[in-house]
Amino acid sequence: MRSLINILDLSIEEIDALIATANDIIANPERYREACKYKKLATLFFEPSTRTRLSFEAAMLELGGSVLGFSEANSSSAAKGESVADTAKTVSCYADIIAMRHPKEGAPLIAAQNATIPVINAGDGSHNHPTQTLADLLTIRREKGRLCDLNIGFCGDLKFGRTVHSLIAAMSRYEGIQVTLISPEELKLPSYVKKDILRKKDIPYTQTTSLEHAMPSLDILYMTRVQRERFFNEEDYLRLKDSYILDPAKLRGAKSDLCIMHPLPRVNEISVAIDDDPRACYFKQVLNGKFIRMALILMLLEEAKR
Ligand code: CP
């Protein structure tokens, strides 16, 4: 049974096909209104979410299907000690496809190994968030017209930010990609991502603590929130949380066609004064997330028939 756990589970050709389907859904939504009639999506969210859970649910509803699920671990039998494996076997009896978010790295993989229906990783700990990456790729393609020949700056919490790890993995497969890593020392990109992706794929990258210094060369600026929930102590979080705040003054040296992205939620990393700047793309990412999840649900349910 085909699931999506890591963005690298999809080939570049499959990502191209998903982007093409998402663009067709945007252009011709009426064609898809009954595409998933009588199908059910289960959203199993063991961690908080606004965008991912609601966009999955909106996606399935707009495809004519139905949704069921839970939005916190305490309202499921996980609170009584039920395993992820048993939860996946159980939900397979009620639904056609699962979207699961879990604080433990690898939990959606365990679910996929035990479910009899497709499982989509909707974020596991600080590990992966492949459907956010699909939303990011669709946004980059629509805004920049290409997925190659780009300098992407990742700024903020590069240690715990799973969206950063997934997007770096995805972008490393395209030609002409350069990566600029902007973070405090304590929140640098983990060594395993540098070794297993950037160095292995020969992707040129630079590391800096200065957003202003990096800004002029960037085609894309991917801001991230400092991930409070992954810190072991509050003191460190409070010291680091406002390391980078993007405001109009910091954009002075930026390219006129810079694409400013953020997976959201934002806390304080992007001033609301940026929201009306034509370079701000983060709410476009939110909307694109629904369309690419529609395309993904269609693809996985189609494959499940075979
Ligand atoms: N981007 C994202 O994963 O947002 P949520 O945590 O609100 O789902």
The CATH label, of 3.40.50.1220, 3.40.50.1370, 3.10.20.30, 3.40.50.150, for the domain at 7-128+286-305 is: 3.40.50.1370
Domain spans of the chain, in order of start: 7-128+286-305, 131-285
93 has pLDDT over 80: yes
Give me the count of residues in the chain: 306
Lay out the sheet containing 205-208: strands in order across.
Answer: 205-208, 177-182, 150-155, 220-223, 259-261
Distance 264 CA to ligand 1 centre (A): 6
Q: Is the CB of 204 under 6 A from ligand 1?
A: no
Distance 202 CA to ligand 1 centre (A): 30
Measured CA angle at 183 (ends 189, 180), to 5 deg? 75
CATH fold, domain 131-285, is Rossmann fold (3.40.50)
- Write the pLDDT tens digit of every residue in 233-244: 888 888 878 889
- Write the pLDDT tens digit of every residue in 74-87: 999 999 999 999 99
The pLDDT value recorded for residue 227 is: 78
Catalytic residues: 51-52, 80, 101, 129
Q: Residue 306 and residue 302: Cα distance in Å, rounded?
A: 7
pTM: 0.95
